[in-house]
């Protein structure tokens, strides 16, 4: 599977996220109460996840799952998807190599953390995880840069 270069992911994410931040910032509330700050935090968090998922688009299961989740947020499907992604019973794939075994519990743990991998076989899930980790780390890196810039 061809992956876009990570630097292009980074710049595309930056552009999208900044655009969203500007939009959010334009809706300046009359007060900066803690409730307003909380709502804004939520909006920013969703904007960040959405921006990264949009950059990747429908190419990956995790990005499709994130976009789905954001779309369905109001219908509180989040709880359902977590339940669904609790692994497939009976599909015990192990790397049998002395102590080097991947336990079912560990695989499950990872399935809960990576969006959209609930129904995947172990191989596909590991590949998806690597891509997700790369994008998530990029997202954090860019957000940190923005925070640093605003903080000076």
Among 3, 37, 53, 83, binds another protein (CB under 8 A): 37
Among 4, 41, 57, 80, binds another protein (CB under 8 A): 41
Q: Let me know: does 87 contact 118? Beta carbons within 8 Å.
A: yes
DSSP 109: H
Asked if 151 touches another protein (CB under 8 A), the answer is: yes
Q: For Cα atoms 13, 16, 131, give the angle at the middle one, nearest 5 degrees.
A: 25
Nearer to another protein, 18 or 82 (CB): 18
Binding window for another protein (CB under 8 A); candidates: 53-61, 65-73, 83-91, 137-145: 137-145
Measuring CA to CA, which residue among 13, 39, 54, 35 is closest to residue 144? 13
Asked if 14 touches another protein (CB under 8 A), the answer is: yes
CB 55 to another protein: min, Å: 15
Asked if 35 touches another protein (CB under 8 A), the answer is: no
C-alpha distance from residue 80 to each of 67, 74, 112, 121 (Å): 15, 13, 12, 20
Asked if 82 touches another protein (CB under 8 A), the answer is: no
DSSP 33: -
Asked if 150 touches another protein (CB under 8 A), the answer is: yes
Number of H-type helices and E-type strands within the chain = 6, 0
Token duo for residue 48: 């960040």
Asked if 70 touches another protein (CB under 8 A), the answer is: no
Three-state SS for 98?
Answer: coil
| Residue numbers at the binding site for another protein (CB under 8 A) | 11, 14-15, 18, 21-22, 24-26, 28, 32, 36-38, 40-45, 48-49, 93, 95-103, 106-107, 109-110, 113-114, 122-123, 126-127, 129-130, 132-134, 136-137, 139-140, 142-147, 149-151
């Amino acid at each position: 599977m061809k992956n876009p270069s990570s630097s292009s992911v980074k710049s595309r994410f930056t552009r999208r996220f900044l655009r969203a931040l500007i939009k959010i910032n334009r809706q300046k509330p009359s007060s900066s109460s803690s409730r307003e700050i909380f709502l804004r935090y939520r909006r920013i968090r969703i904007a960040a996840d959405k921006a990264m998922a949009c950059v990747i688009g429908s190419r990956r299961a995790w990005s499709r799952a994130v976009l789905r989740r954001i779309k369905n947020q109001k219908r509180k499907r989040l709880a359902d998807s977590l339940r669904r992604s609790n692994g497939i019973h009976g599909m015990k794939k192990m790397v049998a190599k002395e102590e080097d075994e991947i336990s079912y519990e560990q695989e499950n743990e990872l399935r809960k953390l990576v969006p959209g991998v609930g129904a995947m076989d172990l191989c596909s899930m590991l590949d998806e995880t690597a891509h997700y980790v790369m994008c998530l780390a990029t997202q954090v890196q860019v957000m940190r840069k923005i925070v640093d810039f605003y903080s000076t």
